[in-house]
A and B are shown apart, each in its own frame.
Chain A
């Protein structure tokens, strides 16, 4: 980790808007003010509500959050997988110079699987139970490559071998249920990588797996990234996975970005109380056993009734330090240190103090 402050972090909010007007950005992937809302009978569900980030080839962005934070909705939004009839998507998604939100459904479809691909959480339910693993990889390859079935089959076998499946020429004709969980996830990765995508989105790729298998899969993703130089978005609730794999980290809460920083900064100098809460909530093996965990009180808000002001305010242990601002006013995501952004009303010095004196020693 030579470069702790990646240069690709976006500029301040002011310039960002100018940048949006200026058109295509230089970054490989840039998401600007992405909003994904779902109208329902109960009200408008604001699953993602103004999210911006950037990612370069060869680098990994970890998006962390609890269930309902909008992290998976974001990933599906980038791939254009939301049904346009029941989702309202706005903002901009620039992938290698092309804007995706305004593009036609067919144009986005042609990019899916070829330029951007996705690995899903549960490989058993994410693969079709009635088709062989090979068939599903061949299908993925042949949508975007005009080759014969034999050539595609050869490619599928190669891919299965590459992701570490023993005897790929035999396993290619097996059905997903004949694979073990880890092998299925490898096959899923082989399928996602079959067209050599430049952007790979991994949505909780190891959550359904055992810990030793998780380690294998994380190693595999890391190795494949080196080989293909792909940009990776790693979506997870597990801070350990992010720490192992990511260059940058984006902490989401209630559809918005709470903190966005280089991974070193986020873990060692976090500037948002929610990030502190996440770190304090998890028991860790790399420290002395703490007598007590420090959970965040309460539960995440409903996305229909996100609190006014700071969405985290009702659960925040330090909300009194903002003179009521956190109830009245939504905090902007500000760059507080080079490449380190957080959306919080508590004075910066006070936050540093709390982290250093109250939180960090207890972790």
Chain B
């Protein structure tokens, strides 16, 4: 088990290196290959009508005239040992892990990420709790009452949920629940200091989307599991139907759900872009989006790296949990 975890961790580091290299190439190599000069590249950072001095400063700071591997090497080195940027007027210290420096905000990227992460975390975790509870219980009930009105209704709603994106349900609920009926206050969340229940509406909208998916997944899993021989054995022992369903059926059905959950959560932690945009919440998704809109490449790169890190970590946790849940994996 320890060897397994160590091996997976090493693999995760390798994977992150590859992802960073690919991302780095996309942002810096591909434009060059397409004939964009380092001046043009620097120009994208500088905003409107830059003067030559600014351009030179940017080129120098980002090392746009260095060979690409050197640029990448510097980037990775900064993550590990930190870096110091000279804007010409002041020196900005960027301790490790330094993910570059935003020309627009004059802030190290990592600090921005650290500011934004708890917000996204709150959105994702709150919604996750809701969608798992709702999705799994609806899925189980649906499977047990397969073919009944309840099942059909639940699956119809689930289909609707899967098909309705957050920008639709979100805007609709904002318009009615908040503005027209004034059932809930404005969504206003800027950090851990704020009341988390301000996030209720985003949670519900996000959870509606995912719960639908999880209900379908759970239903399919339960239908399969409840046909297993060991369920028949559990019944033959005289166990109550509740024990059979929860202890024997659900326990076995949860494994695939856990896998999907890990990936979904990892994905969301990297930034619930649509949800954050819809409700104007300053999370990681907004950061990435702003970075893209303003051509702030270091920010975009940083956000991408963090998103990748969350997914890789989530994957690792799922794999370890797999061994915890399923003894067959543990022993093989």
Contact = CB atoms under 8 A, between A and B. Distances in A.
B236 A130 contact: no
Contacts of B251: 130
Contact of A140 (B230, B232, B237, B325): B237
Nearest to B226: A83
Contacts of B236: 79, 81, 112-113, 117-118, 120
Contacts of B228: 125
A143 B238 contact: yes
Interface residues of B, number: 21
A141 to B, nearest CB: 9
A177 B237 contact: no
Interface in A174-216: 175, 177-178, 191
A112 B233 CA distance: 10
Interface in A215-249: none
A130 B328 CA distance: 8
Contact of A130 (B229, B235, B238, B325): B325
A127 B248 CA distance: 10
Interface in B280-332: 325-328, 331
A130 B326 contact: yes
Contacts of B229: 120, 122, 125-126
A117 B248 CA distance: 18
Contacts of A129: 230, 252, 326-328
Interface in B195-236: 228-230, 232-236
B239 interface: yes
B240 interface: yes
A113 B232 contact: no
B328 A139 contact: no
Contacts of B326: 129-130
Interface of B is mostly: helix
A143 B234 CA distance: 11
A154 interface: no
Contacts, number: 71
Contacts of A79: 236
Nearest to A175: B327
B230 A127 contact: yes
A111 B233 CA distance: 14
Interface residues of A, number: 27
B137 to A, nearest CB: 20
Interface string B267-282: 0000000000000000
Given A175-B327, A175-B331, A177-B328, A128 B235 contact: no
Nearest to B330: A175
Task: Identify the interface centre among A129, A130, A144: most chain B CB within 10 Å of its CB.
Answer: A130
Given A120-B232, A126-B229, A126-B232, A191 B237 contact: yes
A17 interface: no
A340 interface: no
Given A129-B328, A130-B326, A175-B331, A120 B238 contact: no
A140 B241 CA distance: 14
A127 B237 contact: no
A113 B328 contact: no
A116 to B, nearest CB: 9
A177 B327 CA distance: 9
Interface string A128-164: 1110000000011001100000000000000000000
B331 A143 contact: no
A284 interface: no
Contacts of B252: 128-130
A110 interface: yes
B238 A110 contact: yes
A156 B235 CA distance: 19
Contacts of A46: none
A122 B237 CA distance: 16
Contact of B233 (A127, A144, A177): A127
B240 A109 contact: yes
Contacts of A171: none
B235 A81 contact: yes
A120 B233 contact: yes
A114 interface: yes
A85 B180 CA distance: 47
A143 B233 contact: no
A113 B230 contact: no
A109 B239 CA distance: 7
A175 B328 contact: yes
A174 to B, nearest CB: 9
A94 to B, nearest CB: 19
Contacts of A144: 238
A126 B228 CA distance: 8
Nearest to A191: B237
A114 B232 CA distance: 16
B155 to A, nearest CB: 18
Contacts of A117: 236-237
Interface in A81-127: 81, 109-114, 117-118, 120, 122, 125-127
Nearest to A140: B237
Given A120-B232, A130-B251, A143 B237 contact: yes
A125 B237 contact: no
Nearest to B234: A128
Given A120-B232, A125-B229, A130-B251, A143 B239 contact: yes
B239 to A, nearest CB: 6
A84 to B, nearest CB: 12
A22 B123 CA distance: 70
Contacts of A81: 232, 235-236
Contact of A109 (B232, B238, B327): B238
Interface in B240-270: 240-241, 248, 251-252
Given A111-B238, A140-B237, A130 B327 contact: yes
Please provide the 10 A-B residue pairs with the shortest distance between their CB atoms, ordered closest to farther: A113-B238, A112-B238, A125-B229, A113-B237, A140-B237, A128-B230, A126-B229, A175-B327, A118-B236, A126-B233
21 contacts: A79-B236, A81-B236, A109-B235, A113-B237, A113-B238, A117-B236, A118-B233, A122-B229, A128-B230, A129-B252, A129-B328, A130-B251, A130-B252, A130-B325, A130-B326, A139-B237, A140-B238, A143-B239, A143-B240, A175-B327, A191-B233
